[in-house]
Structures are given as C-alpha cells and as structure tokens.
Amino acid sequence: MMENKKPWIVFAVVVVVLLGLTVPLQFLVRREVVVGLEAETAHAHAHAEEDHEHEHEHEHEHPEEEGHLGAEVPLGVNLIANYGFEVGTRGQIWGWAQGGLGQGAVIYRDDIVSRSGKASAAVITGGASGIDPGCFRKLDALPRAHDVIFEGYIKTEGLHGEAYLKVLAEGRTGEEENSYVLVSSTSDDVDGDSDWTLSSVRCYIPPEATMVWLEVGLYGDGRAWFDDVSLVVEEREDTLASGVNLLKNPSFEQGLKHWHIFSLSPEPLLEYGVLPVGPDGGPALFLQDHAPGTPEDKHTGFYQAICGLYGHQGTLDIHGWIRGDDLDGEGRVDVVAFTAAGTINQRFSQGAAVGDAWREFRAEIPIDGEVASVWIRINLDGNGRLFVDGLEAVYRE
Ligand SMILES: [Ca+2]
Ligand SMILES: [Ca+2]
C-alpha cells in the first residue's frame, strides 16, 4: 500500500494542474462555440453595444474608417455574436440594444423560453399595440456589394400583428449626420400562436451603404420570442427576373403574408385583414383606421420591399386596383425608390376614390442602375376604409 501512495499523489497533483490550465480554456472555447462570442472581440463589441444605446440617426462614425471595412468581411460565417441571446441579464442582452415605440412593451432576455441553449429575446406588448419594439444591433463589418442573409427562429403567442427579422441598410452623404435608407427588408412574418418558425430575409447591400442594422421585433399586440439568429454574407446572387411579378402574395390570397406593417402613429387604431371583395374574385386587402378625427399626417399602412435592383437598367411597371370608402383623409399606393443619391424619388401616389368602384392604376418607375430597393406601400392617412388588390411590380429591361 505504501508503495502505491506516492504515484497516486503525483497523479492527483498532475490532474489538478491540468484542470487548472484547461478549464479556463474550455470555458473560452465553449463560450465561442455555444454562445458565439469571441473573447478577443469582446472589447470592440462592448463599444458597439454602447453605440446601440443611441438612436440610429445619432450614430457618429468616420466615413473614411468605414470605407475599408467592406473588404474584411468574411463570407459564409455567422457574424452575429450572442446569436442565441445566451449572454446577458433579463434587462440587458449583451451586444443587442432595445428599441421601438413599445407603448409599454417589455423587451427582455427570457431564460425560461428558448429554442436552444437557455435563453431567448422576448417582447411582450402588454395589451397595447407596439410599433417595432425589439432588439437591434449594428453590423460591425460592412458587407458592401454583397448579399446578406439574416435568419432566425421566431415563436409567437396570441400575436395580432407580426413578428419579423429586418435588415436596414443606410447611406450618408459627406459629413452630414442625416442618414437615408437604401434597403429596408423584412423576413416572412410570424403571427398568431406559432411554435419556433425559421424566418429569413436575403437582400443585396449596395456599395454606398455606410451602416447596416439588424432588428428582431414585432408589430401589434401579443408576445414574440427570437432565438438562434444568424447573419451570413455571400457573393451577390443576381436573381432579378424580368417580365414577372416581383411581389409576393400580390393579391392577398395568403392574407397579409409578406406585407410588413408600417406606421408612424403613436397609437394606431388600425383594423386590417382580407375580404373576398377583390376585382380578381379573390381576397383583397382591407384597411381601416377607426380613430375618429385621425389627422391626415398619421401614415399607417403596409409595404413590401423589392431588393436587388442595383446595377440594373430598365423600368419597374406598377399595376393594381384601389378602392376607398368613407375616407376622411387619403388612401393610396406609393412606390418609393431608395437610391444611392440619398433621396427618395420616383414617388407615385394614387388617390382613392370615395365610393364603391374599383379603380385601376399604373405607374412606370425608371430603374437607373442606382436604385437600391423599391417599396410598394399601401397607405391610409387619416381614417376611413381602403381596399387594395391585384398588385403587380414587373421589371423590364
Ligand atoms: Ca438561445
Ligand atoms: Ca385578390
């Protein structure tokens, strides 16, 4: 027995020393693999997190510093640290900022509900309608002239509205702090009572982009959770097809799927849905603001973004049907082109007729190579009822 004891003690000491050396290493590896955090970038991300506390338009960065970030962006890997919302406290999710007009919405790290790991990002609106409450972050690297694919899992409970992932690319001219939108595109929305559902959005980031934001959030009333998000940069896939309708669900046969709610109203009293009243015999969009005396400058509506137009020369032919009923204000379809020149141009409006007749409208939007994206937006300003159906956006070379 005495002969065996000394080697045993030596062995125990060696084990303890090895554990002491490898446990921190294992922790770091686990942290990176499980959580997505790289230890050496924590400092830089901490600064990024501070930046998130500011609103988008108050970002301060040097354009020359941003100018050479594009070349360093790695392709094919998830660029989001803390993609599973594992790191943080209930009130603060590491690497993510909280935003949106919540009307009392609570945005938090939920350590009970998760798709993987132990936590997710959650939003509860608490009975009132929320306008984009959620979490957002700025991409540290700029994937200029590339496609980005933003994906993640969304779970909803009693959500009247929609939960989504959004990519927002902004540009800026000179020293001005005012930024302008180049691309704003949202993923397939999730609503109602949905278990974890993969949602994704792919869009092209034009070379003029100076900031790219990622957001997970909701519109409406209810609860939503987000987990396992990823942002992957790929070479451009130029999939712009000519001669076909580029809009998804253009005639509202799938309800409001693919149409993202857009509102500047702090308290929108919005009713929307589909009614089988369209000129095509199928469902049409029905939009109504019940609030009596709603001012005409309160825009509420839906949009769908068409991306991937950059570098193309041709026209975008718009066609559809619109019908107004008891409108106190205006209903219309706007086509908003976001260009590298930094101005919103090619905005075409169509006033709604008061009465029951469907009215056909057409517009031809020049695509000059610098149009980064186009929104087809259905607007209701003021109150009343608006019907829209059979929308088409066809690119022709
Ligand atoms: Ca998680
Ligand atoms: Ca229809």
Q: Which of 192, 219, 234 is the last residue of a domain?
A: 234
Residue 246 is predicted with a pLDDT of 97
Residue 310 is predicted with a pLDDT of 94
Question: What 3-state DSSP class applies to 70?
Answer: helix
Q: Are residues 134 and 216 in the same domain?
A: yes
* Average confidence (pLDDT) over 115-127: 94
Q: Which domain holds residue 351?
A: 260-396
Centre of ligand 1 to C-alpha 126, Å, is 23
Per the domain annotation, does 250 fall within a domain?
Answer: no
Question: What is the SS3 string spanning 254-273?
Answer: CCCCCCEEEECCCCCCEEEE
Q: Which of 24-33, 68-77, 274-283 has the highest mean pLDDT?
A: 274-283
Per the domain annotation, does 239 fall within a domain?
Answer: no
Q: Which of 216, 234, 252 is the last residue of a domain?
A: 234
Q: Are residues 12 and 115 in the same domain?
A: no
For ion ligand 2, residues whose CB falls within 5 Å = 251, 278, 280, 282, 389
Q: Are residues 18 and 60 in the same domain?
A: no
Q: Are residues 86 and 228 in the same domain?
A: yes
Look at residue 123 and tell me whether its pLDDT is greater than 90.
yes
Centre of ligand 1 to C-alpha 108, Å, is 13
Return the CATH number at 90. 2.60.120.260
Per the domain annotation, does 242 fall within a domain?
Answer: no
* Average confidence (pLDDT) over 50-74: 45
Look at residue 238 and tell me whether its pLDDT is greater than 80.
yes
* Residue 254 DSSP class: T
Centre of ligand 1 to C-alpha 86, Å, is 5
Location of structure tokens 């949905």: 194
Q: How far apart are CA 376 and CA 370, in angstroms?
A: 18
Q: Please provide residue 34's backbone torsions phi and psi, each rounded to the nearest 5 degrees.
A: -80, -40
What is the helix (H) or strand (E) element at residue 125, kind and residue range?
none
* Average confidence (pLDDT) over 191-216: 95
Q: Which ligand is nearest to the CA of 277?
A: 2
Half-sphere exposure of 274 (CA within 13 A, CB side): 18
Q: Are residues 332 and 225 in the same domain?
A: no
User: Are 181 and 170 spatial neighbours (Cβ–Cβ below 8 Å)?
Assistant: yes
Q: How far apart are CA 242 and CA 393, in angstroms?
A: 10
Number of structural domains found in the chain:
3
Closest C-alpha among 277, 265, 171, 275 to residue 219 = 265
Q: Which ligand is nearest to the CA of 153?
A: 1
Look at residue 46 and tell me whether its pLDDT is greater than 50.
no
Per the domain annotation, does 272 fall within a domain?
Answer: yes
Per the domain annotation, does 217 fall within a domain?
Answer: yes
Per the domain annotation, does 64 fall within a domain?
Answer: yes
Least confident of 226-235, 270-279, 313-322: 270-279
Closest C-alpha among 337, 155, 149, 300 to residue 234 = 149
Sign of CA dihedral 370, 373, 377, 381: negative
Q: Are residues 288 and 162 in the same domain?
A: no
* Start-to-end CA span in the chain (Å): 90
Q: Are residues 52 and 29 in the same domain?
A: no
Q: Are residues 70 and 137 in the same domain?
A: yes
Residue 346 is predicted with a pLDDT of 57
Q: Are residues 51 and 194 in the same domain?
A: yes
Q: Which amino acid is at 67?
A: G
Q: Which ligand is nearest to the CA of 251?
A: 2
Q: For 243-260, how does the pLDDT look when each residue is reduced to its tens digit (9 = 90+)? A: 999 999 999 998 888 898
Location of structure tokens 């009293």: 269
Least confident of 89-98, 101-110, 236-245: 101-110
Half-sphere exposure of 112 (CA within 13 A, CB side): 1
* Average confidence (pLDDT) over 232-238: 95
Q: Which ligand is nearest to the CA of 321?
A: 2
**DSSP H stretches of helix in the chain:** 2-30, 42-52, 63-67
Q: Which ligand is nearest to the CA of 250?
A: 2
Centre of ligand 1 to C-alpha 22, Å, is 25
Question: What 3-state DSSP class applies to 230?
Answer: strand
Q: Are residues 78 and 199 in the same domain?
A: yes
Q: Are residues 87 and 221 in the same domain?
A: yes
Closest C-alpha among 167, 230, 155, 165 to residue 196 = 155
Q: How far apart are CA 397 and CA 238, in angstroms?
A: 14
Q: Are residues 265 and 193 in the same domain?
A: no
Residue 290 is predicted with a pLDDT of 66
Look at residue 29 and tell me whether its pLDDT is greater than 50.
no
* Average confidence (pLDDT) over 282-311: 82
Closest C-alpha among 163, 152, 203, 158 to residue 181 = 203
* Average confidence (pLDDT) over 358-380: 89
Mean pLDDT score of the chain: 80
Per the domain annotation, does 290 fall within a domain?
Answer: yes
Per the domain annotation, does 240 fall within a domain?
Answer: no
Centre of ligand 1 to C-alpha 82, Å, is 9
Per-residue pLDDT band at 171 (split at 50, 70, 90): confident
Centre of ligand 1 to C-alpha 72, Å, is 28
Q: Which ligand is nearest to the CA of 112?
A: 1
